Amino acid sequence: MIFFTQVRKFVFAVLCLTILLLTACTDSANSQDTIATAITPTDYSISSHWLAAPTSTDKTADVFYVYPTAYSKASPSDPNFCAIDNPTMIQGAKTSIQRTAAAFAPYANIYAPFYRQVDARYQLSLPFTQQDEIIQKEPLIDVTAAFEYYLEHYNGGRPFILAGHSQGSAVLIFILSDYMKAHPDVYKRMIAAYIIGQSVTSDYLAQNPHLKFATGSNDTGVILSWNTEAPVIDGTSPVTRPGGIAINPITWTTEEISATVEQNRGSIELNPATGGTPVLDEYGQLLRVPDLADATVNKTRGVVICSSVNPADYQFGFPLGVYHTFDYPFYFFNIRQNAADRINQYFIENSGS
């Protein structure tokens, strides 16, 4: 059986546009202040502005999740930034959370705001520096407002994980560099930040010495990041930047040591009939797909290489061999176990505090 092959038959254009190349930390604090003054944040006291906000909690840790691009302009005259109630964005976000943030569900309470997104085609038409400026407009202003509302009204002092994919990770890049620097008390409660589908570069880390990249399977207060590619891609990947750092999502090391499909705890299959939500087994649980995806860090390219699948089965609007849509699905159950390990380690390290 070839998993995921049928997925490419359905309309996946919006989800395939989750390719925002946004990592560099801006040096223009005054410029950011001006942007923040000009744009009014979304009101997150309104329940409909949340994709996920549980009213009761049974986990000792949270996940604050920011979804990938779910908005795409239907015509050139449409706005570059969508409204908070844009129906296409809302539906795409609901689909995305099921194949991404659901990995954390057994071990953490998941909170996820809707936010005003930028159209990816417009975004990618700009130079990198302008792309960084664009993400600091509506997307970052909304997510920052949502994060502050979450901390004040939902979090209750619990430790938390930041998790995102693509545009969501691009926004979290700035939450880490700016908000966490200004709020070290909040940063102390961050278990880890899964900045997936987004390049975290060595330059970015050098500019933000309060941050650190993960080096193992259970270190805490760290960033984890990767973009998944085939050994050879057709052209240039639109989702990576020079100097990116990647961690192996099977072995959780940054070294160039191969992890086999047998070491993978399991992938998930996507259902083309439901727009790409995970396939469920006969008991209504996520169908675990064994022996699908291997993983090897390539430090030169700053990515994770998956050599065990056929690139032609995973071409979704990206150059052949760029597995952006499958950054989470290929390593879904590895992410789940890793989140459990890091949560457990956080409580061990902070048992006396």
- pLDDT tens digits for 144-197? 999 999 999 999 999 999 999 999 999 999 999 999 999 999 999 999 999 999
Q: What is the mean pLDDT of the chain?
A: 89
Indicate if the pLDDT at residue 33 is higher than 80.
no
Give domain limits for the chain.
5-349
Quick check: 211 pLDDT over 70? yes
**Nearest by Cα to 314 from 4, 2, 1:** 4
Of the pLDDT bands very low, low, confident and very high (cuts 50, 70, 90), residue 131 is confident
pLDDT value, residue 242? 93
Taking a C-beta distance cutoff of 8 angstroms, is the pair 325, 239 a contact? no
CB-hemisphere CA count at 13 Å for 142? 23
Q: How confident is the model at residue 221 (pLDDT cuts 50, 70, 90)?
A: very high
Residue 34 has pLDDT above 50, yes or no: no
Least confident window among 101-115, 206-220, 271-285: 271-285
CB 22 within 8 A of CB 170: yes
Q: How confident is the model at residue 37 (pLDDT cuts 50, 70, 90)?
A: low
Q: What sign for the dihedral angle of Cα 75, 98, 258, 311?
A: negative
Q: Report yes or no: 50 and 229 within 8 Å, Cβ to Cβ.
A: no
Contact 149, 111 (CB under 8 A): no
Q: What percent of the chain has pLDDT over 90?
A: 78
